[in-house]
């Protein structure tokens, strides 16, 4: 079964490495992984689609929480949530059958974002199943290129997945937490070894 696990992580060098390494090392199956910034300063959000039974997902969550750079983990699988992924699909078509392709796009609420004499790029922002349905219908025309971002997920209603507590950190420590580990800007003096 596919689970939607959301992790709030420190926006720091190496975090993606730590998470990816954990999944590889413990043999967890990632279906997709989407990362981006959030409304909270210095916090990134990962939406991870994990394949496995309850016990596996329980371990995934606990092992993630064990990483010092992971602030919060939630399983949104059983939650009322908006689930979306973005797909860009380049389909082979000419003036002769372009109308058919665009009709299929309309049915699946995808948009044409690029046209050429022999191709069209469709953009779909949808749930996984709808993207799959769109793809099934486009295959006979020839899918030249496909790119999917993987699922992002957000709970419906006023409840949020957020850290929430930004107080208690001095400016100095705030700077430390956000900048440490990154190469300072500007020219560094050359030091030979």
Partner 1 sequence: MTTTQRPPARSHQHAHEGAPPEAQGRVLSGADILLECLKHARATTVFGYPGGVVLPLYDRLPAHPEVRHILVRHEQGGGHAADAYARATGELGVALATSGPGATNLVTAVQNAMMDSVPVLFLTGNVARNLIGRDGFQEADATGILMPAVKHNYLVMRAQDLAPTFAEAIYLATTGRPGPVHIDIPKDVFLEEAEFRWPERVHVRGYQVPGAADEDEIRAAAEAIDAAERPIILAGHGIVISRASEELQAFAERAGIPVLTTLLGLGGLDQRHALSYGMMGMHGSYHANMAASNADVIIGLGMRMDDRALGRFADLNPDATVIHVDIDPAEHNKNIHTAFPIVGDVKETLPQLTAAVRRASHPEWVRWIDDLARAHAASLSVPEGPELTVQFVVQQIARAHADDDEDAIIVTGVGQHQMWAAQHMNISRPRQLITSGGLGTMGFEVPAALGAQVARPGASVWSICGDGGFQMTFQEIATMVDEQTPVKLAIMNNGYLGMVRQWQELFYKDNYVAVSMSQPDFIKIAEAYGIKGIRVDEPGQVDEAIREADAHPGPVLLDFRVTADDNVWPMVPAGAALSETVESADEVA
Distance of alpha carbon 89 from alpha carbon 112, whole angstroms: 9
For residue 31, state whether it binds partner 1 (rule: CB under 8 A): no
Distance of alpha carbon 60 from alpha carbon 52, whole angstroms: 10
Residues 112 and 102: beta-carbon distance below 8 Å: yes
Residues 87 and 48: beta-carbon distance below 8 Å: no
> Which is nearer to partner 1, 95 or 191 (by Cβ)?
191
Q: Which of 54, 68, 78 is nearest to 7 (CA)?
A: 68
Quick one: which segment of 28-36, 65-73, 103-111, 130-138 binds partner 1 (CB under 8 A)? 65-73
- Which spans in the chain are helix H? 15-26, 54-66, 98-107, 128-138, 171-179
Rounded to the nearest 5 degrees, what angle is found at the Cα of 172, between the Cα atoms of 9 and 182?
A: 50
> Which is nearer to partner 1, 82 or 146 (by Cβ)?
82
Site for partner 1 in 105-124 (CB under 8 A): none
CB of 159 to partner 1, least distance (A): 8
For residue 73, state whether it binds partner 1 (rule: CB under 8 A): yes
CB of 187 to partner 1, least distance (A): 9
Question: Which member of 21, 29, 106, 111 binds partner 1 (CB under 8 A)?
Answer: 21
Distance of alpha carbon 96 from alpha carbon 99, whole angstroms: 8
For residue 50, state whether it binds partner 1 (rule: CB under 8 A): no
Question: Which member of 1, 65, 147, 160 binds partner 1 (CB under 8 A)?
Answer: 65
> Which is nearer to partner 1, 31 or 74 (by Cβ)?
74
CB of 108 to partner 1, least distance (A): 29
Q: For residue 90, what are the contacts with CB-CB under 8 A and spacing of at least 6?
A: 114, 119, 120, 121, 143, 144, 145, 146
For residue 53, state whether it binds partner 1 (rule: CB under 8 A): no
* Binding region for partner 1 (CB under 8 A): 9-10, 13-14, 17-18, 21-22, 25, 55, 58-59, 61-63, 65-76, 78-79, 155, 163, 165, 168-170, 172-173, 176, 179-184, 188-193
């Amino acid at each position: 079964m596919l689970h939607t696990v959301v992790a709030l992580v420190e926006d720091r060098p190496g975090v993606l490495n730590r998470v990816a390494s954990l999944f590889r090392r413990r043999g967890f199956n990632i279906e997709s992984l989407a990362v981006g910034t959030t409304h909270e300063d210095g916090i990134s959000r990962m939406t991870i689609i994990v394949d496995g039974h309850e016990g596996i997902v329980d371990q995934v969550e606990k092992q993630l929480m064990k990483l010092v750079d992971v602030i919060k983990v939630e399983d949104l699988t059983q939650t009322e949530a908006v689930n979306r992924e973005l797909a860009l699909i380049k389909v082979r078509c000419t003036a002769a059958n372009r109308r058919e392709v665009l009709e299929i796009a309309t049915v699946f609420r995808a948009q044409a974002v690029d046209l050429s004499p022999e191709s069209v790029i469709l953009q779909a922002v949808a749930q996984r199943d709808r993207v799959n349905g769109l793809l099934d219908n486009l295959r006979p025309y020839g899918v030249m290129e496909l790119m999917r971002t993987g699922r992002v997920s957000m709970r419906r209603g006023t409840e949020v997945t957020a850290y929430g507590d930004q107080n208690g950190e001095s400016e100095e420590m705030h700077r430390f937490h956000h900048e440490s580990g990154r190469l300072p800007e500007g020219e560094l003096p050359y030091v030979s070894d």
